[in-house]
Structure 1
Amino acid sequence: MRNWPLVSLVAALLAAPAAIADIGSRIWGTGGVTTIEGSAGGGLVPWALLGSYASDEEWGGTLAISRAKVDDYSLSVTGAGLNWNNRIELTVAQQTLDLDSLVFTLKDSFGLEQDELRQNIFGAKVRLAGDVLYSPWGQWSAGVQHKRLQDFTVPGAIGARDDSGTDVYVSGSKLFFAALMVRNLLVNLTARSTRANQGGLLGFGGDRNNSYELMMEGSVGLFLNRQWLVGAEYRQKPDNLGFAAEDHWWDLFVAWVPDRRLAVTAALVNLGDVATLEDQQGLYLSLQGSF
């Protein structure tokens, strides 16, 4: 199993002695979790928050593994992030998409027998202003995600223009105290400039459109208590390929933070139609360790 090295690292963090118990001074749960692209946020959408619990004059980091299984595809993600002074976040992630049922379509239509796609993502996020808890207008951050496919054969065959691309986004996050049923409510809005097909796994640009477009993404989460967060996310997607229409993504999630070093996220995800295969729905699970 390709994720075992990262599983071992997370297990080592959780089993570490009390000497490393101090992992940062920010308030419980304010580092978010790790998205499928490696940055801090929800599962699908980056937030203005920076990963780990590092505050001013502190360093922190995260390690994460994630798995999503929908009707005809499986996605595995490993990622790591570093937070410097709660000002700059640097991340890296690798996505592996098992094509499952699409293998037969690719073989019949294009004579291809590839059964998986891999993408590396290198990210950076800068906190521009504000604080998610105490600033009236919340916290604002800007980020970039440079994405590069390891093999362009399938994306090129279905009409993608490039094997790499860079997304640029701005996010704003705000926590409203006792806002709903006397519970704290987190709201996030992200604007992303992108030309990625299916997040980049099917290449960048296409025969229908090869220009950057502005896509909106949003998240809302309700803290039931400091350990449990439930919510939803929505992510707009460009539609660049004539081979198949691309739908927007959404999820319903629950995050459990039993310890400052551990976060577990589960979600029901809906990816819509993906590369001619309709109504892709399934489950998502992510494990994150913080240090």
Structure 2
Amino acid sequence: MKQFRTAVVLAVAGLCSGLVLADTGKLLLTGGVSSIDGAAGGGLTPWAVIGSNATAGEIGASVHASRATSQDYGLNTAGLTVGLYDRVELSFSRQDFDASVATGLNALGFSVQAGQHVNMDVVGIKVKVAGDAVLDSDSLMPQIAVGVEQKSVSAGSIAPVFTFLGTKSSGTDYYVSATKLFLGSSVLVNGTLRYTNANQNGLLGFGSKAPGKNEASWVPEVSVAYLLSKNWAIGTEYRAKPNNLEALGRSAGLADGLAEDDWKDLFVAWAPNKHTSVTLAYLDLGRILPAITANRKQSGYYLSAQLAF
């Protein structure tokens, strides 16, 4: 998978060096925004749409930066997406997770450094296999795409925690997405099935030693958006999580201290023109390592800006 990650990054860089940027562009907001993993969609989950403003016969690109914060954690993300002929999408995202609260694990004998951050690189490819969200908006046919996301984590002084949990520092997610745009009703609905063994999207590694769950499983993700106008959209997302580590935590006497909850958000997106969009969301991320956060649920905000061509 390291070769796959390198190949996609080189392909993105090569395409950008000689990019023929899209000139016509899609309808505003119908191409989604950039998710935290880099793929076009909502903030938390990919859609079947292909990122950038490129339509058939064009190559486009987008860049994004985002910030998410909750009671105990923070996440900065930046990424690049290239859309090829409205058929193939290549993406790269770098996530910087503020895991300072993990020093609470030192009471269990670890040596997590103060101010520790966890970094994760996500390289993705998405291919549209059927339908067209806009052209098929007057029928029941959705746009369907399949995708792969290769994730690699650098955990710093938290790496011994990964070893204790039996989690790996890299993993691969596979997904299939179906996006249906009801243009006459100004409603977009997306459903995604993800095959993953990522803990907290991969920021806490992949899989678990027994009695935790190590094998990947299928989990659903859903988005619904309403286009208030050509420039504004509101919506909500739900992303189920595999919860691989809870059984291991219970066996170690931590009760539900390693439980992983599903993610949800409410968002508003604004596209003042075809090149720029801004997304603001309220996040409900449930519990993240509740053993060191007094079982607090993590809620907060997400702010993302995207520039697309």
TM-score, structure 1 normalization? 0.88
Shift of 1:116: 1.1
Moved more, 157-166 or 142-151: 157-166
Q: Which residue of 2 aligns with 1:150?
A: 154
Q: Which moved more, 1:23-32 or 1:37-46?
A: 23-32
**Residues 138-162 of structure 1: per-residue CA shift (max 9 Å, x gap):** 2000000000012360551450421
CA 80–117 in structure 1, closer or farther in 2 if over 3 Å, else same? same
Contact kept, 8 Å, 2:21 with 2:54, in 1: the verdict is: no
User: Is residue 2:287 matched to residue 1:273?
Assistant: yes
How many angstroms apart in 1 are the aligned matches of 2:278 and 2:132? Answer: 24
Task: Call closer, same or farther: CA 1:140–1:22 in 2, change over 3 Å.
Answer: closer
Matched, 1:226 2:230: yes
Q: Is the 8 A contact 2:147 2:174 kept in 1?
A: yes
Match of 1:206 among 205, 208, 211: 208
Shift of 1:22: 6.0
Q: What are structure 1's unaligned runs of at least 5 residues?
A: 1-19
What's 2:199 paired with? 197
Task: Give the aligned partner of residue 113 of structure 1.
Answer: 112
Counterparts of residues 1-291 of structure 1 (less than 5 Å): 23-103=23-103, 105-114=104-113, 115-135=116-136, 136=139, 137-151=141-155, 153=159, 155-179=161-185, 184-207=186-209, 208-241=212-245, 242-243=248-249, 244-276=258-290, 277=293, 278-291=296-309
CA 1:158 to 1:257, structure 2 compared with 1: closer, same or farther past 3 Å?
farther
Instruction: Answer yes or no: is the 8 Å Cα contact 1:40–1:46 preserved in 2.
Output: yes
- C-alpha distance in 1 between matches for 2:55 and 2:21: 15
User: How far, CA to CA, are the matches of 2:57 and 2:74 in structure 1?
Assistant: 40
Distance 1:203 1:23 in 2: 41
Moved over 6 A (4+): none
Q: Is the 8 A contact 1:24 1:52 kept in 2?
A: no
**Equivalent in the alignment of 2:253:** none
Structure 1, residues 147-194: CA drift from partner, whole Å, max 9, x if none?
A: 001236055145042110000000000111333xxxx00000000000
8 Å CA contact retained: 1:48, 1:127:
yes
The change in CA–CA distance for 1:283 and 1:60 in structure 2 (over 3 A counts) is same
Per the TM alignment, residue 66 of structure 1 is displaced from its structure 2 partner at its CA by: 0.5
Separation in structure 2 between the aligned mates of residue 223 and residue 61 of structure 1, nearest angstrom = 23
> What secondary structure, in the 3-state scheme, does the structure 1 residue paired with 2:178 have?
strand
Tell me if structure 1 keeps the 8 A contact 2:265–2:282.
yes
Give the C-alpha shift of residue 263 in structure 1. Answer: 0.6
- With over 3 angstroms needed to count, the CA separation of the structure-2 counterparts of 1:191 and 1:21, relative to structure 1, is closer
Alignment CA distance shift 1:101-1:52 (3 Å): same
Q: Work out the CA distance in 1 between the residues paired with 2:43 and 2:23.
A: 23
Between the aligned partners of 1:233 and 1:29, the Cα distance in structure 2 is 16
C-alpha distance after superposition, 1:84-126 (max 9, x if no partner)? 10111000001111013332x1222232223111110000000
Structure 2's unaligned 5+ residue stretches are 1-19, 250-257
Judged with a 3 Å threshold, the aligned counterparts in structure 2 of structure 1 residues 111 and 61 are, in CA distance, closer, same or farther, namely same
The 2-side partners of 1:155 and 1:131 are apart by 45
- Structure 1 pair 154–201 and aligned structure 2 pair: CA distance change class (3 A): farther
Q: Matched residues, percent identical?
A: 39
**1:239, CA displacement in angstroms?**
1.1
Higher percent of residues as strand: 1
> How big is the alpha-carbon RMSD for the aligned residues of Structure 1 and Structure 2?
1.6
Do 2:32 and 2:41's aligned partners in 1 also have CA atoms closer than 8 Å? yes
Change (3 A) 1:186 1:158: farther
